[in-house]
Amino acid sequence: MTISDRETCTDTAPLIDFALRGLANCWMPDGQGQGLFSYSYSLDEQSAGNRSQHNHDAFNTLNVLLGFSQLTNNSNYDAALAYDIPGIFEKAAGALPQVTGRSVPPYTFGMALWAGAELQLPLPGPCHAAVDALLEDETRWQTFTAQDTAMLLSGCIAQARLETRPWSNRAERLHSFIMTHFDCPQSGLFFNNVQGYRRRFSSFATMTYMSLALLHYSEWRGHEDSIKRALRVDP
């Protein structure tokens, strides 16, 4: 599916139109790829086209669907969103536990929770089982990065808005875990890991997703201290 295959939207935001046209190039139909959006598109004339790696494609597809969820009630984008969104979500989220080779980072499951909640689509059975196992075994949390923990918190909060159990309890536990193991009050920043040599080497993703998760938590629970903590990251 190329840019020319999609009808140009009218009365829409230029930046959104631009993004949707670019995403049309990243779409890989079932006959040509995985029925997902590729994680990377090369503009180099010698190697133009999609670069595909299934675990990255799955995460990027869920990220794209999260963005789509903000447009699905806007009729101006009906033509640009002429994808089988429930089918794509089922494929991207359902395949996560079966990905071979490199393991799927826990934050990918957080994105599945978040996108599924915003689209009001149920998690596929294998994905739901994997999430349950991940969130109920707190010994595994010791290996989480800040991005893992933060995106799982955002995903649990999004799910809790639709269904209190078990997501509300999980969100509360993740929030407590973040404040206990990732908060660095001296610097105002967040640690990258619970332990190990990478603990004090944080990244842009660490600060961004941690701040966003705490803002989600503060909005959900009316927790003013979480707002203040999130905003401390801003220099």
Instruction: Let me know: does 50 contact 38? Beta carbons within 8 Å.
Output: yes
- Where are the alpha helices (H) located in the chain, listed in sequence order? 14-26, 54-69, 85-94, 106-119, 125-136, 146-160, 167-181, 204-221, 224-231
Which residues form the domain of 217?
A: 142-235
Check whether residue 229 and residue 147 sit in a common domain.
yes
pLDDT digits 0-9 by tens, 77-98: 888 888 999 999 999 998 887 6
Side-chain half-sphere CA neighbours of 22 within 13 A = 12
Last residue of a domain, one of 102, 136, 170: 136
Check whether residue 161 and residue 217 sit in a common domain.
yes
Check whether residue 90 and residue 196 sit in a common domain.
no
Cβ neighbours for 124, distance < 8 A, ≥ 6 positions apart: 90, 93, 94
- Which is nearest to 110 in space by CA: 156, 75, 74, 78? 156
Lowest average pLDDT, out of 4-18, 129-143, 219-233, goes to 4-18
Q: Total structural domains in the chain?
A: 2
At 154, the pLDDT band (50, 70, 90 cuts) reads very high
Longest dimension (CA), the chain: 53
Domain membership flag for residue 45: no
At 102, the pLDDT band (50, 70, 90 cuts) reads low
- Which is nearest to 150 in space by CA: 191, 188, 122? 191
Torsion angles phi and psi, residue 18, rounded to 5: -60, -45
Q: Indicate whether 4 pLDDT > 50.
A: no
Check whether residue 119 and residue 184 sit in a common domain.
no
What percent of the chain has pLDDT above 70? 89
Domain membership flag for residue 112: yes
Check whether residue 93 and residue 120 sit in a common domain.
yes
Question: In angstroms, rounded to a whole number, what is the distance separating the alpha carbons of residues 147 and 111?
Answer: 11
Question: In angstroms, rounded to a whole number, what is the distance separating the alpha carbons of residues 231 and 218?
Answer: 12
- Which is nearest to 178 in space by CA: 133, 108, 225? 225
pTM: 0.87
Check whether residue 19 and residue 103 sit in a common domain.
yes
Check whether residue 19 and residue 130 sit in a common domain.
yes
Instruction: Let me know: does 150 contact 179? Beta carbons within 8 Å.
Output: no
